[in-house]
Structure formats: C-alpha cells, structure tokens
Amino acid sequence: MSLNTLFEILTYLSPLVLFIGASVGIYYYKNLDTITKLLLFFLIGSLAIDVSSRILSELFKNNLILYFILSLLELIVFLKLYHFLSKNKKLVWTLGIIGVLYTLTESIYLNANNVALFQPYAKALTPLLIVIMALVYFFELIRDEEKLYKGEAHYLSLNSIILCFFALEFLFLLPINFLINEGSYLAVYVLMAHVLVLVLFYSYLTYFIWKHGRNQKQ
C-alpha cells in the first residue's frame, strides 16, 4: 500500500468520527448543557464542511473557499465557549472579533482559484487565537481553585485538549503551504499527522459529549 493510498484512507476516518459524534450528540441533546451543545454544533458544522469539500472537489476541483468557512466556524464556536467559561470576556471577544474580521477580509482579497497562490493566513491565525483563549481560561482555573470546586473541574481536561489540539494545528498549518508548493514529500507526512490529530480531537469531543449526556440522563 502506497503512502498516498494510506493518506486517502485516513481522510475518511474524519467524517466517520464526525458522523458518530453528531449522532451521539443529537441522541443526548436534551441532556446537554450550553458548552456541550456548542461542541455538538462544532462537530455538525465540521461534518457539513468536510462533506461539502469532497463534493466541491469532485465537481469543480476546488474547495479552497471552505478554509475560510471552517476558520469562521472554529472562531465562532470557541469564542462562544470561552465567553461562557472565562471571566475575561473582553479579551475573549477582542480576540474573536479580530479573527473574524481578518478572516472575512482575507476571504475577499485572497485568490481562492489559484492553488499555488492560495496561502490563507487566517487558517493559521485562528488556532493561535483559540490557543490564547484556552491559556487565559487555564490560568484562571489555576488562580481560582474555587472554580474547580464549583463544578468546572471537568472543563479542565476539555480545555487542555483544546489547547493542545489548536497548538498543534497552528504548528501544522504554518509550513504546509510552503511544503506543498515546493513539492516536498514531507508535506504528505505532515498532512497525515494532521489528519490523525484531527481524528483524535473529534474522537475526544465525541467521548466528552457522550459522557456528559449519559451522566445527565441517569
């Protein structure tokens, strides 16, 4: 089995995990709190974008515009999430608004028809902004032990996973355009690692939704 074939197989794991996560969330929907519903919305939106990207790729051989839509989805969902969790709402909203405005501006002026020229910095900026939001909340939890005793302890692990995922996402996306445009074979390994991290992240969110929904149902 060639490396490209293995990569193609791995790409189908992502929509499969997203579908399972969305199904679990819909089943337990009545038992989910606001935070978990936001994660469900993120999985459903990511699934819709994943499927749409495959359809556009087949029909028009170009699905690059969906990078901006995915960036906006991530920004909106995690802006809302940290709006509910963090005390520093002004900073969270400032970061979110900067990200949304930059993504919209870049989507207007960037050429999405030329793959070689397509270098969306918004897709790298988005995870960086979410990492900052996650760090802000992380330090809030460290400083305020009372928040942990008030029922926010289970959000510590969620925040840690979000922090790790988007930090890795940022590191993956910075060099990927250069590697692809240079024809580097290393790009395939980077893309495979990125897909695996995505699948693990979606799997954790699915588990989080399932565990939270099941516990509330009992």
What CATH number is associated with residue 163?
Answer: 1.20.1070
Give the percent of the chain with pLDDT over 90: 47
Spatial contact of 180 and 117, defined as CB atoms under 8 Å apart: no
Range of the domain at 189: 3-217
- pLDDT value for 143: 80
**Mean of per-residue pLDDT scores for the chain:** 83
Mind listing the pLDDT tens digit for each residue in 160-216? 999 999 999 988 877 665 665 555 567 677 778 888 999 999 999 999 999 988 876
What are φ and ψ of residue 80, in 5° steps? -65, -40
- Write out pLDDT tens, residues 108-130: 766 555 555 555 566 778 999 99
The tally of domains found in the chain comes to 1
Q: What is the pTM of this model?
A: 0.88
Dihedral sign for Cα atoms in the order 108, 112, 114, 115: positive
- 4, pLDDT greater than 70: no
Using pLDDT thresholds of 50, 70 and 90, give the confidence band for residue 62: low
Looking at residue 12, what is its pLDDT? 86
33, two tokens: 């709190």
Residue 40 above 90 pLDDT? yes
Contact call for residues 84 and 152 (beta carbons, < 8 A): no
**How confident is the model over 82-100, as pLDDT tens digits?**
999 998 999 999 999 999 9
**Stretch 23-45: mean pLDDT:** 95
**Mean pLDDT throughout 70-88?**
93
Instruction: Return the pLDDT at 151.
Output: 54
